[in-house]
Structure 1
Amino acid sequence: MGDIASGRPRALLTLVRHAESQANVDRVLQGVADAPISSKGEEQLRKLEAGWRPGANALPSNVYQLPRPTLIVTSPLGRARKTSNAIARGCGIREVLLEDSITFRSPPCQPPAPQAHEHVLVDAGLSERNFGAAESTRNSQPVDGYTRPPRTEVGRAESYSQFERRVNAAGWKWIEWLRAYAASSVNTAETQPWMSRNEKTNQDKGDTEPLGIPRDTEPGANQSGDPQASRPEQEEAGTSESDMSSTHDATAVSDNIPHLVLVLHGQWINAFLTHHFPEMRTGRDAYYIRSLNTALFTMELWDHDNSRPLRLVRKNDTSHLGPALPRAKKRRTTQSTRLTDLWHTPA
């Protein structure tokens, strides 16, 4: 198990960004402050729940052809909790308990026993970046309809380096939990191979490269870049479905393979992917790796390289929302009057 030649990863890890909030629509900066889910976000949640529901046949198990989550862990912020609950309803897993009192100010939770769990867990370590006094502002200015939380509630803003360290610590914590579960699971040895259809085709040709991840990239190359490389406005500003870039094209999978699902936020996803897949910071994602609302990023956990155990096989998958809309082409405007025309204009 965990051997590339066998086509069998140890486990799967999926990151899911929360549904669209009203702050995304209004382009208001929200970190640990919360805004209601927008009407479009509510529709995204309905489609997300339906996407995770098992199909009529045993396989595929859902729209994404992913195994049922072994464990769902969510950020304590309301928009993430609501998104995790939609996934839980689709999978037949108990939602976050109403009496749960974990907030972004709580200590990061300790991972539970390495076993399947039938209810959603909450981890403060998955919270969005805390922007302090800049919470609920647009371009550092107050916005009508948005009450800025008191400083005593949000505390001091997190620097990007502080946030990055928190993301890395939380990310590795759950990767190690997933690794421990995969090692202890009696079903692991019986797991059927899971791979994308494109990867399977490549393997049949003798090419086992993962989708989107060049093998010649150095594991430690350019891990974080500029410490200010994630502009706050970009995370919660929202993006259109036309921005989707997905490597998803999967075959049937076995529900026996361990599958951890983390429900969180755009800046968190950007920091995590920047750390584990620095080569993604190119082209349109050079400054910030964008994630769409309710989009899935799925990674395989392998044992062949302990310094880099994850392989990205799915990016910004919003297949549950339907076909992506074509990107609107920008109009190029030309100057109607040439400067030379002005020179020869009669007095």
Structure 2
Amino acid sequence: MAPSVEQSSSRGHGPLLSLIRHPETIANVANIYQGSTDSPLSVHGSNQLRALAKSVATSSTIAAATTTTIRKTTIAETRIKNQARSPLLVDRPPTLILTSPLGRTRALAEALQDAQQQQGNRLVECIVRPGLAERCFGAQEGSSTANRGRVTGFPRGKGPKESDVAWSHRVRTEAEHLKSLLATPWDEQVKEKQAQKHIVVVSHGMWINKFLRLVLPPDAQTQLPFTSNTGIFTLSCDGQVWRLLVSNDTSHLIGLKRQRGGIGSSASDKKQRTLDTMLRPKSTSRADAQGFEEQEQALSGLPHDDLKRA
């Protein structure tokens, strides 16, 4: 399904919020429940991280250019293969980064922070918020999504499973916090600066889906797409009304292929070199295809399948 998009200038929306799912992990590839436990990024996930950081750095360069050389571009005009692009990748770099405390999200948040600094911009603050963590499923974490059996080498979850009520309350609390951060002050002298705010939240598939279902009106929830690894959802908030501007933007991943021979699915090592010559010409990876099916099942409300969105 093509991402949804509001037909107006990205600079004209005022403060923005972008939600990004973490890159692919070994547990994602192996179909292991993650939840509140962690798993290293795969090689493909590490490549996803670098591709997104590079795209955000480019948007920072465009934002710094003068308006006489860079035409203000509408979101609708910036499409790749019929996919609307988030302002985050066009001309609105982050002004604040919030991240889940888990390693798979912090790795991406820190990469985005570094990308901004490497472009000669001021260091964007990166804040860890426990409320952005994925839902906890207790002892079920670390087991196979196929049969719930324990998988050697993956950590087992600790503590009790987070109840539906507690889970909803936690995400709703974060939504209210984000709304307060985006709120435009009455002081006209700082209104223009406030309008350029762009808060980036690096979180998880289930968390992002829960957030959208809590804040968006029912008619905007009927066609929420699969949340891809490093997929971007961008929203604006006008008072009490949230609007979804772009859904699951993965345009930064166009041309990125999984490496052959299982290399792309293996654990990423910072010392490893990227093997561009070994990229496989394959439009959809096995892990991506499985992930789509898993998230579709999760949306049906089945508790077992909800675990797969971590």
Q: Report TM bin, short chain.
A: 0.5 to 0.7
For residue 209 of structure 2, give the secondary structure of its aligned residue in structure 1. Answer: helix
Match of 2:104 among 79, 99, 102: 79
Inter-partner Cα distance in structure 2 for 1:37 and 1:185: 45
1:320 pairs with 2:252 = yes
Question: Per the alignment, do residues 123 and 190 of structure 1 end up closer, same or farther by CA in structure 2, a change over 3 Å counting?
Answer: closer
Match of 1:189 in 2: 192
Match of 2:153 in 1: 145
For residue 313 of structure 1, give the secondary structure of its aligned residue in structure 2. Answer: strand
**How big is the shift at 1:34?**
0.2
Question: Per the alignment, do residues 38 and 187 of structure 1 end up closer, same or farther by CA in structure 2, a change over 3 Å counting?
Answer: same
AA of the residue aligned to 1:188: K
Match of 2:137 among 131, 137, 143: 131
Inter-partner Cα distance in structure 1 for 2:165 and 2:150: 26
Inter-partner Cα distance in structure 2 for 1:119 and 1:18: 18
Contact 1:11 1:178 in 2 (8 A): yes
Match of 1:343 in 2: none
Match of 2:38 in 1: 34
**How big is the shift at 1:323?**
5.6
**How big is the shift at 1:257?**
0.8
Contact 2:18 2:201 in 1 (8 A): yes
Greater C-alpha radius of gyration: 1
**How big is the shift at 1:140?**
2.2
Match of 1:282 among 212, 219, 222: 222
For residue 47 of structure 2, give the secondary structure of its aligned residue in structure 1. Answer: helix
Percent sequence identity over aligned pairs: 33
**How big is the shift at 1:171?**
1.3
**How big is the shift at 1:9?**
3.0
Inter-partner Cα distance in structure 2 for 1:40 and 1:30: 18
Contact 2:95 2:198 in 1 (8 A): yes
Alignment of structure 1 residues 58-97 onto 2, 5 Å:
58=65, 59=70, 64-92=89-117
For residue 188 of structure 1, give the secondary structure of its aligned residue in structure 2. Answer: helix
Inter-partner Cα distance in structure 2 for 1:9 and 1:273: 18
Inter-partner Cα distance in structure 1 for 2:43 and 2:188: 41
Question: Deviation string for 1:35-86 (max 9, x for gaps)?
Answer: 0000100100110110111366525898721412121010000000001111
AA of the residue aligned to 1:34: D
AA of the residue aligned to 1:130: C
For residue 316 of structure 1, give the secondary structure of its aligned residue in structure 2. Answer: strand
Match of 2:199 in 1: 260
* Structure-1-length-normalised TM-score: 0.58
Inter-partner Cα distance in structure 2 for 1:64 and 1:81: 19
Match of 1:332 in 2: none
Match of 1:243 in 2: none
Match of 1:156 in 2: 160
For residue 42 of structure 1, give the secondary structure of its aligned residue in structure 2. Answer: helix
**How big is the shift at 1:275?**
1.1
Contact 1:187 1:257 in 2 (8 A): no
Contact 1:10 1:179 in 2 (8 A): no
Contact 1:127 1:264 in 2 (8 A): yes
Contact 2:116 2:124 in 1 (8 A): no
AA of the residue aligned to 1:274: R
Match of 1:293 in 2: 229
Question: Deviation string for 1:165-208 (max 9, x for gaps)?
Answer: 1101111111112215x5558453378xxxxxxxxxxxxxxxxx
Q: How many residue pairs end up in the alignment?
A: 226
Unpaired runs of 5+ residues, structure 2, are: 1-7, 74-86, 257-282, 290-310
Contact 1:14 1:260 in 2 (8 A): yes
Match of 1:167 in 2: 171
> Superposition RMSD on alpha carbons, in Å?
3.1
Q: Which has the higher helix share?
A: 2
Question: Per the alignment, do residues 301 and 66 of structure 1 end up closer, same or farther by CA in structure 2, a change over 3 Å counting?
Answer: farther
1:11 pairs with 2:15 = yes
Contact 1:51 1:90 in 2 (8 A): no
For residue 298 of structure 1, give the secondary structure of its aligned residue in structure 2. Answer: strand
Match of 1:302 in 2: 238
Question: Deviation string for 1:87-130 (max 9, x for gaps)?
Answer: 1122228xxxxxxxxxxxxxxxxxxxxxx973210000101000
